Structure 1
C-alpha cells in the first residue's frame, strides 16, 4: 500500500479503451471530449491564471522602480542640520526619509546596523559633500540615493563625493548572490514536497505518515542548506566568511518552503502545488528585495515582501553575509512562522477528527498493486 491512501492518483492514461480504433465515427467534438477531460481543462485554466499572474507580478514590481522614503542619515553642523533634514523630507514624492546623526561615526554605524541605507555628510567649509553608503545592501537603492542627493547638491551649486563603506564581494557581481541562493532553496523546498505528493498522494493517510514525510523534508532541507553554503562560499567565493550561518539559514528557508508546500497540498490536494507557485514565485520573488529593495517597489509588493519566505530569507542571507546579522530579528520570526505553520497545519489536517470534515475529505485513491 502506498502513503497516498486518500491521495490523488492518475486516471490511468489519456487513451481509454472505447472499441473505436480509428475514432473518426465520433467526430471532432467526441474526440475532444475524450482527449481533454474536465479535470485536464481545469488544470490548463489554472496554469493560464498562474502564467498571467507571473507576468503581471514581475512587470508590476519591476517596470518602473520609484524611491519611497529611503532611510537616510544627515550629518551637518547644528545651524544647518534642521534645514537639511527638512529639505530632504520635503522633496516631492518623499523619495527619502531623513534623520539627524550625531557625527560621521554614528552615521556609519547606522548604515552597518541597517537602520539607514545611506548618510549625507555636509561640510559647509568646503564645496563638496559626502555620501556614505553600503552597496552590498542593494546596489539599486545605493545608486538611487546617490542620484537624489547629487541633484539636491547641484541645486545648491555643490558637488558630492561617494564613499562605499560596504561594497559587495568581488565575486558577488551586483550583490545578487543572496537572492539567487534563496531562489534555489525556495524552489528546492516546494518541489521536494510536490515530489512526495506526486509519488504517494497529496494527503498523507495518517498522522504517522505526516511525521515521516516532514522528517524526510527536514533531511532534504539540511542537505540543501549545506549544498547552498558550499556553492556560495568555497565554490564561487560569492558570500564568504559565514559558512555555518548561511548553512542554517538555508536549512530554515528550504524547510519553510517545503512544510508550507506540504500544508497547501494537505488542504487543497494537488492544487496546493499551484498555490505554492503563487506564494513563492509569482509574489515572493519580485517582492523579496533581491532585485530591487522594498523602498523602490510599488506599495503592494513593498507591503508583502518581508512577510513572505523569499523576502525574509533574502534579508537573512544578505545581512549575515555583509552586516553581521543586524536587522534580522523580524526575518527570523517570519521564516520560522512559515515553517511552524506548515508543520501545524499538516498535522491538524491529518488528525482523524479533521479528516471527517468535508474540507479535508480526500477522494478515494485508485487501487494500486
Structure 2
C-alpha cells in the first residue's frame, strides 16, 4: 500500500507540473525583441530609416529588435535567410508595407501586425500587410509541423520507457548493442511513416518526404537513445525524468503556432534544445525555408544521441566489470 501511495504522489507531481508548465508558457504570450528590418524608400529624408529603427527599439517592453536594410529586396532576403522575422517598408506615399512570414510562426506575424497598428495610429499613417512566406493551405497556423514533431518524440521516449520497464536495462555491451540496433531500425521506420502521412496521405507537406524522413529518424533516435541511456544510468527514475524533459518542458517550449519571440524567455531559451522544439523548427526549416536554419537542430540531435549512446555503453560496461559476489553454498547438514 505504501508503494501505491508514493506512485500516486509522483503522478500528482507530474500532473501539476504539466498544468503549470503549459499555462505558464501560453497564458499570456507577448512579443519581445522580434527581429525586423526597416527600409526607407526613395523620396524620403536621409536618415529616416535610422530614426525609425531607434523609435521602434525604444518602444516600451521592447517588442521589436529593429535594424536597417538598404532595400526591399535585401529585407526579403533577410526574411528568407531567417535573419529577421519581418520587414517594415516606409513609403513616401504615406501607405507603408509590413512584410511578414507566417510560416515562421503565425503568432509572431499577428504580433507584428498588432504592434504596427498601434504605431501607425499614433502617426496618422496606414500600412498594408504582405505575407511573403505563408503557411501551407493544409497547415493551419503552422501547427502540423509541431504535431508531427511531438508524435515522433512521443514514439521515441515511449519505446525506450516500455523496453526499460518490461525488459530492463541491458546487462552487457552485447545487449546494449542489440537494443541500439532495434532503436535505430524503429527510428528509420517511424521517421519514414510519419513523413509519409503528412506528405502523401494528408498532403500537408507534399514534396518534402525524404528530408522529413531524415529529420524524423534523427528526432526519434535522439529521443529514444537518450531515454535508454538515462535508464541504464539511473534506473526506472529515467521514465519520469523523460516525461518532465520531453513533455512538461519540451512541448510548451516548442511553441506550436507560437514562435520563441512571443513565449516567456525561459521557454524560448530551452525550447530550441529539447526534441519537440528541435523537430518543430526542423520541419519549418525544411518545408518553408529551403533548409535554412537546420544547423542548430542537427547539432542538438547529435548531442542527444552521443550522450545517450555514451551512457548506455558506459553503464552496461560497469555492470560487466562489477559482477555481484557469489555467496558460498551452505555446508550440508549431517
TM-score (norm 2): 0.93
The two structures, once aligned, show a CA RMSD in angstroms of: 1.5
Which whole-Å CA distance do the structure 1 matches of 2:77 and 2:305 have between them?
Answer: 33
Is 1:215–2:175 an aligned residue pair?
A: no
Is the 1:229–1:246 contact (alpha carbons within 8 Å) kept by the matching residues of 2? yes
Q: Per-residue deviation at 1:354?
A: 8.0
Instruction: Name the structure 2 match of 1:136.
Output: 103
Matches within 5 A, 1:149-228: 149-201=116-168, 203-228=169-194
Instruction: Name the structure 1 match of 2:283.
Output: 317
- Aligned-partner SS, 1:116: coil
Which whole-Å CA distance do the structure 1 matches of 2:135 and 2:31 have between them?
Answer: 21
Pick one of 280, 286, 306 that aligns with 1:340: 306
Is the 1:280–1:310 contact (alpha carbons within 8 Å) kept by the matching residues of 2? yes
Instruction: Name the structure 1 match of 2:73.
Output: 105
Unpaired stretches in structure 1, ≥5 consecutive residues: 1-35, 362-369
Which whole-Å CA distance do the structure 1 matches of 2:222 and 2:312 have between them?
Answer: 13
- Aligned-partner SS, 1:300: helix
Is 1:290–2:256 an aligned residue pair?
A: yes
Q: Per-residue deviation at 1:131?
A: 0.6
- Aligned-partner SS, 1:264: helix
Q: Per-residue deviation at 1:123?
A: 0.7
- Aligned-partner SS, 1:307: coil
Q: Which has the higher contact order (CA 8 A, sep 6+)?
A: 1
Q: Per-residue deviation at 1:295?
A: 0.7
Q: Per-residue deviation at 1:355?
A: 6.4
Q: Per-residue deviation at 1:136?
A: 1.1
- Aligned-partner SS, 2:205: coil
- Aligned-partner SS, 2:127: strand
Instruction: Name the structure 2 match of 1:58.
Output: 22
- Aligned-partner SS, 1:239: coil
Which whole-Å CA distance do the structure 1 matches of 2:5 and 2:214 have between them?
Answer: 42
Which whole-Å CA distance do the structure 1 matches of 2:78 and 2:207 have between them?
Answer: 22
Which whole-Å CA distance do the structure 1 matches of 2:48 and 2:8 have between them?
Answer: 63
Give the direction of change, closer, same or farther, for the CA distance of 1:99–1:267 in structure 2 (3 Å limit). Answer: same
Which whole-Å CA distance do the structure 2 matches of 1:46 and 1:277 have between them?
Answer: 12
Is the 2:36–2:65 contact (alpha carbons within 8 Å) kept by the matching residues of 1? yes
